[in-house]
Amino acid sequence: MKTDLNYEKNGGFVIAIAQNYRTREVLMVAHANQEAIDKSAELGLATFWSKSRNKLWTKGLTSGDTLRIVETRADCDRDAVLFLVEPQGSGGACHKTGWFSCFGYKL
Amino acid sequence: MKTDLNYEKNGGFVIAIAQNYRTREVLMVAHANQEAIDKSAELGLATFWSKSRNKLWTKGLTSGDTLRIVETRADCDRDAVLFLVEPQGSGGACHKTGWFSCFGYKL
């Protein structure tokens, strides 16, 4: 997908945020390289680059809790994308807690 | 502020997202180090670390379009924070376009 994203600014990555397109809840945030953005477009599922595992990571591909992309937006600096998604499966976006959102901790 | 955030994982930074607490619109995303998180708590205004200018950046401090923090949440990995904010001033979070959100570009 030709996207004109600026990967260089942040070491080959853009920040990729997933937001529930209906509830508008911010579900998670991770990094994406060109390969992840391409795979997201190809599958229609939010796909990131896992820096810790150093591999492509389509959220929920094993658990079934994928995030179907309804719309993708870029920010004004072109170094971040916002996936507006419809959670599939049980809807638990957070693989650690099973909650809908990873942002469950109040500071 | 004692936050138990994991700055080490990402070179001294966490990802910091600002979301309008009322409309739930995602306004912008940037990076924050410990200093920026501390300053955010001190001022009650979303404060980031500008990597390009290499300095602390309280959003809108010069323009008046600050983002008053209503609540701060951390994600399950503790390497990202979500500022739920009330935009002040004209409400234009995006310093480049003047729009409410920086995520104005559909891919």
In a domain, A3, yes or no: no
Residue A36, pLDDT score? 98
In a domain, A100, yes or no: no
In sequence order, what E strands does chain B have?
Answer: 14-20, 26-32, 47-50, 55-58, 67-74, 80-87, 105-106
Banded pLDDT at A63 (limits 50, 70, 90) = confident
In a domain, B50, yes or no: yes
Residues 6 or more apart whose CB falls under 8 angstroms from that of B21 comprise B70, B71, B84, B85, B86
* B81 CB within 8 Å of a chain A CB: yes
In a domain, B54, yes or no: yes
Q: What is the CATH number of the domain that holds B40?
A: 3.10.20.810
In a domain, B103, yes or no: no
Closest-CA residue to B63 (of B19, B41, B36, B94): B94
With a pLDDT cut of 90, the percent of chain A lying above it is 71
Q: Identify which of B15, B52, B105 has the shortest CB distance to residue A73.
A: B105
Tell me the residue range of the domain where A30 lies. Answer: 8-87
ipTM of the modeled complex: 0.91
How many domains, in total, are found in chain A? Answer: 1
Residue A8, pLDDT score? 92
In a domain, B70, yes or no: yes
Query: Full-prediction pTM beyond 0.95?
Result: no
Chain A nearest-CA residue for B19: A26
